[in-house]
Amino acid sequence: MSKERLEEIKYKLYTLHNCTDTDEAIKDFIFYHLKIEWIIEQAERVQELERANKQLERQAPGIELELLNMELTDALKQNKRYREAINFAIDYLKNSDIRQVQLVVTGLKSALEESK
């Protein structure tokens, strides 16, 4: 997922959080039950780890890469768990008739498609 796409999703979530015409139960589900902000933080962490891995590979191409590969493997596993959580959120919210929730669902779907 690109940094720009992640920022767009964060903006939509911020808009949803501050929206006055959205049902509070839906907001609670998204922000407290799904912990969507935490999921986004973790996606950002995966991006940071991938950048660090690339930088280390450039700086020391002869260094033993096993440790780096283990970290990347862990990050990829973590990314898979986040993908599953995002898919759960999409499945749960996709039939909602609240426009802001639909925007979030669209943003999450797009984020998933970008990160494949």
Q: Under DSSP, is residue 79 helix (H, G, I), strand (E, B) or coil?
A: helix
pTM over 0.85? The answer is no
Q: Does residue 61 have a pLDDT over 70?
A: no
- pLDDT-derived band at 109, boundaries 50, 70, 90: confident
Helix 99-114, helix 66-93: angle, nearest 10? 150
Give the number of residues written for the chain. Answer: 116
Work out the average pLDDT over 37-58: 84
The whole domain housing 30 covers 3-114
- pLDDT-derived band at 64, boundaries 50, 70, 90: low
User: What was the pLDDT predicted at 63?
Assistant: 63
Could you give the number of structural domains in the chain? Answer: 1
- pLDDT-derived band at 116, boundaries 50, 70, 90: low
User: What was the pLDDT predicted at 102?
Assistant: 75
Contact 96, 102 (CB under 8 A): yes
pLDDT one-digit tens code per residue, 2-24 = 778 878 888 887 787 777 777 77
Contact 6, 111 (CB under 8 A): yes
What does the alpha-carbon distance between residue 97 and residue 104 come to, in Å, rounded to a whole number?
12
